[in-house]
């Protein structure tokens, strides 16, 4: 390809500036819109994953093989004899791409205030470790979180907001927990409410009682080395499935375990994320359709208007292949200018979405999808692979759209073409 041919293609592109400007503007606006929506949709999917996994789900969960999904009280890691917890936590946190791990104990019981009672899910946690993998401690509406420095078995709890409202308690109130313990006895004790939790999730806010790990084990008659689950935080949520498979194969030889990543633990969340990211396909189709119409129209009109000129060029020795290449080059330059203008138009909007986001508080209340509460400010996030696919797709569409006009021009007979006015 000679530089002369590129110069000629660039000059030809602007011989009818109005038509070229209209085509460039239409394609550029389409590309800018694609950048905008790709940024928003990627931000939404990242927010859903982050909010969903950092409110109790975690990126991965380690269980006994028969624990999930029934969640029997008796199916603890290591069976009825339990496991060496510190060693297991160390083995997990020293793995590549694992940031933190936290043990949990689950139970179900009756929680009673002075005048009201309700069923509740009991979640025993290590306050220090749990704060590394979840954000419960950031969602308190009153009171404080569980004290990491409290003595083992400290009788303090944090209640979900709606549960606290149902049984009419507040920080400082005392409650009684009654449950079926692992040894068949009835576990019961008196606890002090130290905080009220509001996550926006109906399941958590209406049913959850957070309590220290040792206190929950004592209430449920579980020894200190018996836990139901270890929540694991990985470097990014996207690698959770791969890391889960590796951990299960590496640690499964010494301890019977199952490691499940968040897409398996919450299929509804995974489906919503996939649907959100798949919405780009529809947007791609719209933008590419605009590009096809714009490029083909521009190139066809250019060929019809320059029929005589094409005949002269071919008579002077321009080969049919070079004529085809000339028209394709014009279309490619048209696409390149459109993409550059689209970046110029969409770039500031993408920056604004990432920095300030869209404040939805004035147009809607609390929104949840797949059981995940979304933040009221919708922040965008760069999706460079989508940006690049869109740019390359537009370039390909431009070339393909120009093939028909280019082949038509290449088939001109110089004598006949020069006779046209």
Rounded to 5°, the CA angle 232-55-206 comes to 135
Q: Identify the pLDDT of residue 110.
A: 94
- pLDDT tens series, the chain, 421 aa: 567 777 877 877 777 788 778 778 888 888 888 888 888 888 888 888 888 888 888 999 999 998 888 888 999 998 888 889 999 999 999 988 999 999 999 999 999 988 899 999 999 999 999 999 999 999 999 999 998 876 555 789 999 999 999 999 999 999 999 999 988 889 899 999 999 999 878 888 999 999 999 999 999 999 999 999 999 999 998 899 999 999 988 888 788 899 999 999 888 888 877 777 667 777 777 777 777 777 766 766 666 555 555 555 656 556 666 667 777 787 788 888 888 998 998 889 889 888 888 877 666 655 665 556 667 777 888 888 888 888 888 778 777 777 766 666 655 555 454 555 4
Give the separation between CA 405 and CA 324, rounded to whole angstroms.
8
Q: Identify the pLDDT of residue 417.
A: 46
Residue with the two structure tokens 């138009």: 345
Largest Cα span, the chain: 104
Q: Are 349 and 32 in contact (CB under 8 A)?
A: yes
Give, in order, the Cα–Cα distances in Å from 8 to each of 193, 325, 326, 330, 334: 79, 11, 8, 9, 13
> For the residues of 3-38, what is the DSSP string, one character each?
HHHHHHHHHHHTSSHHHHHHHHHHHHHHHHHHHHHH
* The length of the chain, given as a count of residues: 421
Q: Residue 389 is encoded by which pair of tokens?
A: 């696919």
Mean pLDDT, the chain, rounded, equals: 83
What is the model's pTM? 0.76
pLDDT tens digits, one per residue of 306-349: 555 555 565 655 666 666 777 778 778 888 888 899 899 888 98
Give the separation between CA 380 and CA 347, rounded to whole angstroms.
12
Q: Containing H/E element for 150?
A: none
Give the separation between CA 4 and CA 304, rounded to whole angstroms.
22
Q: Are 303 and 408 in contact (CB under 8 A)?
A: yes
> For the residues of 317-363, what is the DSSP string, one character each?
T--HHHHHHHHHHHHHHHHHHHHHHHHHHHHHHHHHHHHT-EE-TTT
Q: Are 28 and 290 in contact (CB under 8 A)?
A: no
Give the separation between CA 85 and CA 213, rounded to whole angstroms.
12
| Boundaries of every domain in the chain | 3-52+269-419, 65-256
Q: What is the CA radius of gyration of the chain?
A: 32
Q: Identify the pLDDT of residue 214.
A: 92
Helix (H, G, I), strand (E, B) or coil at 412: coil
């Amino acid at each position: 390809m000679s530089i002369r041919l590129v110069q000629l293609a660039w000059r030809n592109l602007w011989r009818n500036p109005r038509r070229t400007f209209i085509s460039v503007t239409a394609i550029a606006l389409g590309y800018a819109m694609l950048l905008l929506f790709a940024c928003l949709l990627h931000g939404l999917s990242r927010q859903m994953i982050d909010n969903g996994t950092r409110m109790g789900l975690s990126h991965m969960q380690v269980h006994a093989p028969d624990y999930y999904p029934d969640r029997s009280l008796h199916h603890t890691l290591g069976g009825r004899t339990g496991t060496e917890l510190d060693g297991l936590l160390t083995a997990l946190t020293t793995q590549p791409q694992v940031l933190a791990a936290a043990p949990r104990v689950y139970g179900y019981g009756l929680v009673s205030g002075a005048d009201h009672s309700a069923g509740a899910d009991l979640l025993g946690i290590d306050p220090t470790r749990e704060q590394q993998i979840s954000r419960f401690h950031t969602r308190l509406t009153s009171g404080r979180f569980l004290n990491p420095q409290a003595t083992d078995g400290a009788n303090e709890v944090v209640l979900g907001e709606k549960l606290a409202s149902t049984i009419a308690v507040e920080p400082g109130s005392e409650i009684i927990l009654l449950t079926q313990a692992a040894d068949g006895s009835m576990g019961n004790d008196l606890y002090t409410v130290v905080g009220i939790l509001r996550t926006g999730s109906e399941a958590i806010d209406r049913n959850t009682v957070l309590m220290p790990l040792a206190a929950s084990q004592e209430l449920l008659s579980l020894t200190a080395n018996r836990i139901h689950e270890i929540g694991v935080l990985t470097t990014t949520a996207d690698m959770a499935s791969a890391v889960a498979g590796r951990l299960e194969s590496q640690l499964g030889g010494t301890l019977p375990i199952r490691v499940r990543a968040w897409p398996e633990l919450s299929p509804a969340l995974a489906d919503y994320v996939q649907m959100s990211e798949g919405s780009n396909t529809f947007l791609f189709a719209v933008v590419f359709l605009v590009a096809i119409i714009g490029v083909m129209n521009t190139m066809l009109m250019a060929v019809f208007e320059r029929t005589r000129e094409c005949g002269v060029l071919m008579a002077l020795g321009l080969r049919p292949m070079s004529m085809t290449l000339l028209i394709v080059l014009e279309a490619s330059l048209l696409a390149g200018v459109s993409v550059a203008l689209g970046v110029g138009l969409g770039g500031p909007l993408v920056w604004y979405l990432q920095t300030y986001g869209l404040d939805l508080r004035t147009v809607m209340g609390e929104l949840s999808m797949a059981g995940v509460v979304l933040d009221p400010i919708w922040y965008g996030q760069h999706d460079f692979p989508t940006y690049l696919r869109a740019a390359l797709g537009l370039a390909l569409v431009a070339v393909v759209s120009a093939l028909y006009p280019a082949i038509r021009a290449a088939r001109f007979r110089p004598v006949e073409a020069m006779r046209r006015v």
